[in-house]
Structure 1
């Protein structure tokens, strides 16, 4: 389904990378490390990086290094390592621009009901990954899928990323994964965003990265087709979402455990 990936269902798909493209050296360092791990463990890998962050709490928050510069880095990463890439888009006008550089267009959770955005994304012919809104029931995502398919594009995925719980926390309802799989499309679990603590008084999102392994194991156990992880060599200095990221040097151990778990679950 995803260009450059032969997904057989024998292993989960991995969408991973930094929250936002901070620069070429950083992007290549992360991509090279994840690609080596994924090849070793036979995990289909899609490199993730936002070329621009449009949804920020404060006006002084980092938004990016420039659209075409960041998109060019994503394209270069894909070409160097022979891997597909994914990035977010935020408006209908961005769809055709981003589609020139990446293989998968991602619809942010807060925008998953935006009809013009879904149609514009679908019309590019790219794979469309729609994140479930924190405010929506899993069964409601049927209508987002329908908008893409009715616009002539069958290549669609859904991503669970937690549901709003109170004002400053998220919970993952794992019943949503089999529910969304009823749409006959891959369902991904966004592990790191599911551990965000939004709406902090500082205007900087918090997180609980110590629970990454717990959330990931549960997702694989209930049949998620893939996992989404944001990772960085040093999350403490990441320019976006550092509070809920996985440190890059911890990724291989986590993925090794998840591959073993996937084999066990499939044997049951």
Structure 2
């Protein structure tokens, strides 16, 4: 069970949703996306956490978009939370970022490639914020118990969330092993399926990550059927124009129908 104070509808019996743009590109786009998702999740009584990266540290090329400025983007995240009454989540990449980001958001997210970085996990736990750890593409679900232990040993009251985002499959593809979801749930923490990053095709010759967004619904449906506690999706009103992860995001106008179909699956398995 999540214990984030501002999370609404937690007793609705629905899965919770972490969704928003890959990166904060500006104030207007963030507020526009947050407003639409909040409208949907309020109507459907889905607990909602707004997601947006204040800085993108893991980019293939040096000239890739990384952000609009740390404090500027973090201030936008805080405004989203205040305006719509929803918690917010953003990535951190180094230990020194934990305390800064914690002043603005409710959940600190540890990127998959960094899930074994002890100092980063400890710093996140010390802030007292909830910590969402992405499972490394190179790890089994069972291996994530050590990330949970590092956080909980540092701060026994810390809320830990684990998120699966697929496993490396060859040099430029990922595959989802749904056994990882119940495996990670056995640690007594909420488990989320990242329905967009699990469809990435990294390390493309162009230097821009590819993806298969047409399969987002497939990944999401399977995750709910398996019993995922939450879903993670990046979405944008025009993914083709997005400055980060354009190849993987769900078009915002497709979110409503998808959530409605997922709720029917959730009802069927309860």
Task: Please indicate the TM-score interval, normalised by the length of the shorter structure.
Answer: over 0.9
1:229 is the counterpart of 2:233 = yes
Residue in 1 that maps onto 2:151: 148
Q: Which residue of 191, 196, 208 maps to 1:192?
A: 196
CA distance in 2, matches of 1:57, 1:138: 26
User: What are the residue-to-residue correspondences of 1:1-268 with 2, within 5 Å?
Assistant: 1-6=3-8, 7-8=10-11, 10-152=13-155, 153-266=157-270
Q: Secondary structure at the match of 1:263?
A: helix
Q: Secondary structure at the match of 1:3?
A: coil
Asked if 1 retains the 8 angstrom alpha-carbon contact of 2:34 and 2:50, the reply is yes
Moved over 6 A (4+): none
CA displacement 1:97-152 (0-9 Å, x = unmatched): 00000000000000000000000000000000000000001100000000000001
Asked if 1 retains the 8 angstrom alpha-carbon contact of 2:126 and 2:154, the reply is yes
Structure 2 stretches of 5 or more lacking a match? Answer: none
CA distance in 2, matches of 1:176, 1:204: 28
CA distance in 1, matches of 2:222, 2:231: 11
Q: Report how far residue 5 of structure 1 moved.
A: 1.3
CA distance in 1, matches of 2:28, 2:183: 40
CA distance in 2, matches of 1:228, 1:3: 19
Q: Secondary structure at the match of 1:150?
A: helix
Q: Secondary structure at the match of 1:133?
A: coil
Structure 1 stretches of 5 or more lacking a match? Answer: none
Asked if 2 retains the 8 angstrom alpha-carbon contact of 1:188 and 1:228, the reply is yes
Q: Report how far residue 2 of structure 1 moved.
A: 1.7
Aligned residues: CA RMSD: 0.7
Q: Report how far residue 9 of structure 1 moved.
A: 6.5
CA displacement 1:2-51 (0-9 Å, x = unmatched): 22115236000100000000000000000000000001111000000000
TM-score of the pair, normalised by structure 2: 0.98
Q: Secondary structure at the match of 1:105?
A: strand
